[in-house]
Structure 1
Amino acid sequence: MTQKIALVTGAARGIGLATAKLFLREGWKVAMVDRDQAELEQVAVGLEGTKAFTCDVSVPKAVDQLFKDVLEHFGQIDALVNNAGVADFGPIEDTDFSRWRTVMETNLDGVFLMTQAATPALKETKGAVVNIASISGLRASTLRVAYGTSKAAVIHLTKQHAAELGEYGIRANCVCPGPVRTKLAMAVHSPEIIAAYHDAIPLNRYGSEAEIGEVIVFLCSEKASYVTGQIIASDGGFESTGVGLPALRD
């Protein structure tokens, strides 16, 4: 059986890097993509079965060149994981159009461009797309007018992908991570914020990057061969609880 190839964006750190490592564990080869060339090349050292590709997914010409390079090296693409994203939080009144577009260009435009460019290759392999949105795309919260809106759009874009590409055997699903214990989150979340998240999450903790990655890899695998158009919150139950439940626990 031909070895499968996954293309993972935002692979230099966090969920993307964890996902790439999990694909390797499952015997896949991985095209690791990020716009941070230095960090990407550093983390890819020693990861046998990977190749690093530098690309800004919001730039159409760069995306087109990326797929030429990936296909030249690997010959096929069996799974696309659209993980690259930017987080810019701030009040609505302070979010000027430039900040809005910066978020949309990567979080939404990038997903559109990457999936469109990947479609011919995915038709050949009857492959899978997994878009990474966020719990912020499922429920509104303060300071996330651009970020949350971009992720809500990714959720619907996933359904469009599933509806249109299914006839070619291409599956498309979306993973919505809840609070994840990344280095960035731990650096910017105060003890008060961490405690508040724990109170609001039924599992009473943050998730790990690998826990999100496990869901992503599953959705790309043959084990999920009849799963498409689905939005899966990997969030410890955060989205399910609505409001007010922490006070009712006891």
Structure 2
Amino acid sequence: MTSASRQGTVAVVTGAGSGIGAATARRLAADGATVVLTGRTEDKLKTVVAEAGDDAGRMHVRIVDSSDEKAVGELFDSVVAEFGRLDTLVNNAAVARPGKVTETDTENWSLVMRIDVDGVFFGCRAAVPHLSETGGSIVNVASVSGIGGDWNNVAYNAAKGAVVNMTKAMAMDHAPDGVRVNAVSPSLTMTDMTAGMTDDEDLMARFADRIPMGRGARPEEIADVIAFLSSHDARFVTGVNLPVDGGLSASNGQPRM
């Protein structure tokens, strides 16, 4: 994709202060889009912009909690008022709280659902009317944890499963409006969220054994797929949940023989 391919377009990326969100914001800005980076921590968002070099002028920070219904609605109205349009929404903001169902308290269950599910719902609901004016698209960041179960991660599994099926439902509902809705499902990705895992050499060896490509993803590798799905090149693609997992989901689950 050339830097001219998104000239004149406007994108919103949630959870853009680090990891996949930051990489996606950088990629879309490099491709020429005006990118609004949202999150709850201003310093992290400003650091992403400062590190973007020549593309920083196309990046704009907004402090928004994606689980705040009112704030999300106001965000999209203000983006369109300031920049004149909306072409792309990337719902990336998420949290995880590990635990079995018997170990997950209501507070942590509700936190995961508010950010990982409600945040996607609020963002999509506010964005679709604007996206229908431009023939725009949504890419939701789901997870392989929304395709199959993990041990000890019931809240996150439930939330990401909801994002996968919400994506498909919205793709059908809004295709007549000219809005495409797709998702990506990464496996292990080297981000702040997984830092505690990636420091565990034994655990990383077990991941490498299960992922055919033998490693976790870099955030930029997920961002490149998000960029494709949100682009004109994917203009006949909607309702897809694309695993970006180094081949993990190709397995039937049996051990290496």
Match in the other structure for 2:48: 43
CA deviation profile, 1:118-149 (whole Å, cap 9, x unmatched):
01110100100000100101110111100011
Matched, 1:88 2:97: yes
**For this pair of structures, how many residues does the alignment match?**
247
Q: How does 1:106-145 map to 2 (within 5 A)?
A: 106-145=115-154
Q: Which amino acid is the alignment partner of residue 43 of structure 2?
A: A
Tell me if structure 1 keeps the 8 A contact 2:18–2:192.
no
Match in the other structure for 1:212: 222
Q: For residues 154 and 28 of structure 1, what CA distance do their matches in structure 2 show?
A: 25
Match in the other structure for 1:72: 81
Q: For residues 83 and 149 of structure 1, what CA distance do their matches in structure 2 show?
A: 16
TM-score, reference length from structure 1: 0.95
Deviation at residue 38 of structure 1 after TM alignment = 2.4
Q: Which runs of 5+ in 2 are unaligned?
A: 1-5
Where 2:61 maps in the other structure, the secondary structure is strand
Match in the other structure for 2:237: 227
Deviation at residue 97 of structure 1 after TM alignment = 1.4
CA RMSD of aligned residues (A): 1.3
Tell me if structure 1 keeps the 8 A contact 2:139–2:230.
yes
Partner residue of 2:66 out of 17, 41, 57: 57
Tell me if structure 1 keeps the 8 A contact 2:212–2:246.
yes
Deviation at residue 35 of structure 1 after TM alignment = 1.3
Match in the other structure for 2:189: 180
Matched, 1:25 2:35: no
Match in the other structure for 1:163: 172
Match in the other structure for 1:10: 15
Tell me if structure 1 keeps the 8 A contact 2:7–2:32.
no
Q: For residues 192 and 107 of structure 2, what CA distance do their matches in structure 1 show?
A: 27
Deviation at residue 2 of structure 1 after TM alignment = 6.1
Q: Which amino acid is the alignment partner of residue 71 of structure 1?
A: V
Q: Which runs of 5+ in 1 are unaligned?
A: none
**CA distance 1:58–1:183, shift in 2 (3 Å):** closer
**CA distance 1:24–1:109, shift in 2 (3 Å):** same
Tell me if structure 1 keeps the 8 A contact 2:112–2:155.
yes
Deviation at residue 72 of structure 1 after TM alignment = 2.1
Match in the other structure for 1:241: 251
Where 1:32 maps in the other structure, the secondary structure is strand
State the identity %. 37
Match in the other structure for 1:151: 160
Q: For residues 207 and 83 of structure 2, what CA distance do their matches in structure 1 show?
A: 42
Q: For residues 153 and 49 of structure 1, what CA distance do their matches in structure 2 show?
A: 32
Match in the other structure for 1:195: 205
Q: Which amino acid is the alignment partner of residue 134 of structure 1?
A: S
Q: For residues 37 and 143 of structure 1, what CA distance do their matches in structure 2 show?
A: 32
CA deviation profile, 1:62-99 (whole Å, cap 9, x unmatched):
11111122112211110100001011112321101111
